[in-house]
Amino acid sequence: MQSTNPATERPVREYESHSDGDIDEALERATTAFEDWRARPIEERQTKLGDVATVLRENAEEYARLITTEMGKPIAEARSEVEKCAWVCEYYAEHAAAHLSDERLATIPEADTKVVYEPLGAVLAVMPWNYPFWQVFRFAAPTLTAGNVGLLKHASNVPGCALAIEEIFAEAGYPEGVFTTLLVGSSDVERVLADDRVKAATLTGSEYAGRKVAETAGYHLKKTVLELGGSGPFLVLDDADLDTAVETAVTARYMNTGQSCIAAKRFIVVDDAYDEFVDRFTAAVAELTVGDPAAEETDIGPLAKGKFVDELHEQVEGSIEAGASLELGGERLDRTGHYYAPTVLADVPRSAPAACEETFGPVAAVFGVDDEREAVDLANDSRFGLGASVWTEDRDRGEQVGRQLETGSVFVNELVKSDPRVPFGGIKASGYGRELSKQGIREFVNRKTLWVQ
């Protein structure tokens, strides 16, 4: 298994993949570790998680540079990712016990009836490369603190990040087997998930990968949480504050070089604001700095792999052929590395690839609509349902529109984001289940009814 720097196209390091025997030993260690780990008081597990946050912060620059080297994230954003990982650890270090406290139910006077929350066992996490630390800690912080043990199958282009995360838990004092990285390919996922020692799975990734994991887990009757793709609508209504909407729109689309499931991808603008929004948005995107992701001034780095550039360019060309107007970019950059120019497409037809498919890179599609009703209809005209953003100066109106949108989350006058304090997840082809907050830590537990009379 080899990692390659997408900015230079040079190999970084080779790693030896785990054999079938290695996998079996890891599963056995996890099973043994679970029996001890689940029996420890949750307050002890919370303390350990706080120690993880300390390790993250003490080595933040090292981890940020590893992220940037392996997947090309601009260094400032990589630092923010590490900081966010520390935050989610601190959140559950403070709140896990309360989120999993017994819930008493009123039944009959003679009975003490409650719901208790107990861990399931070994949980397999199949994680993506685009947020190589955050996606893992978003899973691990609640799941391990609930008393489960974790097995990480990370993306094959970020093996250094995968091993670094395992080392972080070890340095924080977690017992061997509580968190294990498996350096294996996608072809090994089915075998690992089918093993009786694995009790559940979570995946963040593509629709295809989600369907495969769900199929295997369903056959073996194992719990899953899936966070899949997104084509997030960003609705700009006629009374929106365009200064803030435009500024946020640029961040919402181009952060992480546009390689994010929750990024705004379809900008749906009411006609009264359309021309001004397009002009101002395009001008702001043109100011973004494309360059070496290790440089402090860089806003847009390379895409993680060369094939992603090819796929994105095909979507852009197909959208232009369908009738979209190219306002900016629309081309590969002639330089070493997997770079694509920040791109803005306007007047995008609803049949164009940029309207129907998920664009995973620095490409924004802008749509004009007559009114609020058409904006909602277009936003919902998608097989995806991860997150949506609504812009209006009328908060009540924003909430009314938000309630009509078919997504797992809606943010009014804010970009879509994952925050440890609120549950996150999608519907439709964007997956199911929730991560973060109280709802997230209760996904991989047995909600046991206990009736004592």
Instruction: For 13-39, write each residue's pLDDT tens digit.
Output: 999 999 999 999 999 999 999 999 999
Write down the CATH number for the domain with range 2-228+430-452: 3.40.605.10
Strand partners, 226: 203, 432
- What pTM does this model have? 0.97
Instruction: For 72-81, write each residue's pLDDT tens digit.
Output: 999 999 999 9
Instruction: For 425-451, write each residue's pLDDT tens digit.
Output: 999 999 999 999 999 999 999 999 999
Axis crossing angle, helix 60-71 with helix 159-171, rounded to the nearest 10: 160
Residues serving a catalytic function are 227, 261
Residues 6+ apart with CB under 8 A from 178: 30, 33, 34, 37, 144, 149, 150, 169
Instruction: For 128-163, write each residue's pLDDT tens digit.
Output: 999 999 999 999 999 999 999 999 999 999 999 999
Full DSSP string of 400-438: HHHHHS-SSEEEETS-----TTS-B--EETTEES-BSHH
Instruction: Indicate the domain borders of the chain.
Output: 2-228+430-452, 232-419
Q: Which CATH superfamily is domain 232-419 in?
A: Aldehyde Dehydrogenase; Chain A, domain 2 (3.40.309.10)
Q: What is the pLDDT of residue 281?
A: 98
From CA 365, how far away is CA 343, in angstroms rounded?
9
